[in-house]
A and B are shown apart, each in its own frame.
Chain A
Amino acid sequence: MIIAEKKQLEEIKAMLQGYRKVLNVGCGGCTSVCLAGGLKEVEDLCTQLTISLEGDRVVFEAEGYTVERQCEPHFLAQLDEIVKPYDALLSLGCGAGTQLLAERYPDKPVFPALNTVFIGVNRDIGWYEERCKSCGDCVLGMTGGICPNALCAKGLLNGPCGGPKDDHCEVNAEVPCAWIRIYERLKAQGRLENILTICPAREWQDQVQGTLILQPYRDRYAKKDK
């Protein structure tokens, strides 16, 4: 799941300076699940902005609407009429959702209310941990299901480096060394040969904007005028 966290209120206020009527657009997808951009947070942000700006003697009005997922155009369609009276939109979706919202309403300034932080797992209520860098070339099969790109501070593919201290990362003593974990898991599974051979330089797949058209839909998007 994509994990996001709310920007600080001060930052959001600074972005909204000069706009009097703002629609907070929530997202029922990932950011809702990670307690950052669901219905409740939309309501919260409306309350926070209204009260806080009232205190600053600014004429301001905020309302909220939460869509199923901001990253799908057909879910955004329901906003077409709703957004009309607003000066600006504040998106509580991830970076992708915010961009699709901005793309759909090019004449409306769209601001992000969240910082999209990583692709991660839900450890417990309100506790998330990064797991994936979406590098587009998954090596988890080789590394025993532990991603060296996301979890090793240096992203080494032939680790561990010389630095682990008490099995923890030299960069952050609270984080276990990913490569020691990889070694131990593979050893326990009898698959150490995976990391005894050299992992060659990677062909990075994430260096240009990614687009993906699934094979079954190839014809659907074929140029009509052919």
Chain B
Amino acid sequence: MPKQDSQSVDTEQIQALLKKNKRSMTLLLTACAGCTLCAESCFLFMNKGKAPEYMPSYKVLNSLGKLYRKHGKVSRAELEKMRDLLWKNCMLCERCYCALGIDLPKMIAFARRILRSQGIDGVYPHSLGAPEEESG
């Protein structure tokens, strides 16, 4: 059951989820050459002044990649940070292109699932459910 408004992190639960897809996900995470050729396929990247935080690979490496790297031992604050990457910076339109064919949307979706297990999802407390509008 997802926890609501809890400040703690259930590391074991995260680890159990990470273990589920460990082989496939780590294989793809290690394969990423960091070439950033995926960037231009993301319309958010193109719209937001080509900010690196909108690059598909950045979003994956700093969410799912980080979770695997730290073996699930992450703080609440780190998870909250990932929330922005996974929901605010990604519409999950599944259109990102990877020169190597890495399945980025599936990895984002998996990272979202892990965050949801900790009661973190795309509903931002200060809005009506949609990411805040940025001016400019």
Contact residues on B (Cβ < 8 Å of other chain), bracket:
10 to 19
Q: Report yes or no: A38 in contact with B95, Cβ–Cβ below 8 A.
A: yes
Q: Report yes or no: B95 in contact with A68, Cβ–Cβ below 8 A.
A: no
Nearest CB on A from B6, distance (A): 24
Q: Report yes or no: B47 in contact with A32, Cβ–Cβ below 8 A.
A: no
B41 close to chain A: CB less than 8 A: yes
A178 close to chain B: CB less than 8 A: no
Q: A72 contacts which of B42, B44, B130 (Cβ < 8 Å)?
A: B130
Q: A29 contacts which of B42, B91, B136 (Cβ < 8 Å)?
A: B91
Nearest CB on B from A89, distance (A): 16
B78 close to chain A: CB less than 8 A: no
Q: Report yes or no: A26 in contact with B43, Cβ–Cβ below 8 A.
A: yes
Query: 1/0 contact trace for A13-31 toward B, CB 8 Å?
Result: 0000000000000101100
Contact partners of B93 in chain A: CB under 8 A:
28-29, 32-33, 38
Query: Which residues of chain A (166-184) have a CB below 8 Å from chain B?
Result: none
B80 close to chain A: CB less than 8 A: no
* Tally of contact residues, A, Cβ under 8 A: 19
Q: Report yes or no: B130 in contact with A66, Cβ–Cβ below 8 A.
A: no
Q: B46 contacts which of A33, A66, A72, A75 (Cβ < 8 Å)?
A: A66
Q: Report yes or no: A65 in contact with B47, Cβ–Cβ below 8 A.
A: yes
A39 close to chain B: CB less than 8 A: yes
Q: Decide: A38 near B43, CB < 8 A? Known: A72-B130, A74-B130, A77-B133.
A: yes
Q: Report yes or no: A28 in contact with B44, Cβ–Cβ below 8 A.
A: yes
B94 close to chain A: CB less than 8 A: yes
Query: Which residues of chain A (57-80) have a CB below 8 Å from chain B?
Result: 65-69, 72, 74-75, 77-78
Contact partners of B41 in chain A: CB under 8 A:
39-40
Which of B41, B43, B130, B136 is most buried by chain A, counting CB atoms within 10 A of its CB?
B43
Nearest CB on A from B20, distance (A): 23
Nearest CB on B from A168, distance (A): 32
Residue of B nearest to A82 (CB): B47
Query: 1/0 contact trace for B46-57 toward A, CB 8 Å?
Result: 110000000000
Q: Report yes or no: A66 in contact with B133, Cβ–Cβ below 8 A.
A: no
Q: Report yes or no: A68 in contact with B91, Cβ–Cβ below 8 A.
A: yes
Contact partners of B44 in chain A: CB under 8 A:
28, 68
The answer for the CA separation of A65 and B46 in the assembled complex, in Å, is: 9
The answer for the CA separation of A72 and B44 in the assembled complex, in Å, is: 16
Contact partners of B91 in chain A: CB under 8 A:
28-29, 32, 68-69
Contact partners of A38 in chain B: CB under 8 A:
43, 93, 95
Contact partners of A40 in chain B: CB under 8 A:
41, 95
Q: Report yes or no: A32 in contact with B95, Cβ–Cβ below 8 A.
A: yes
Q: Report yes or no: B133 in contact with A39, Cβ–Cβ below 8 A.
A: no
Contact partners of A33 in chain B: CB under 8 A:
93-95
The answer for the CA separation of A66 and B43 in the assembled complex, in Å, is: 6
Given contacts A33-B94, A39-B43, A65-B47, 10 further A-B contacts (CB under 8 A): A32-B91, A33-B93, A33-B95, A39-B42, A39-B95, A40-B41, A66-B46, A67-B47, A69-B91, A74-B130
5 residue pairs A–B, Cβ–Cβ below 8 Å: A28-B43, A32-B95, A39-B41, A39-B43, A69-B91
| Interface pairs A-B: 7 shortest CB-CB | A66-B43, A39-B43, A32-B93, A74-B133, A28-B91, A38-B95, A28-B93
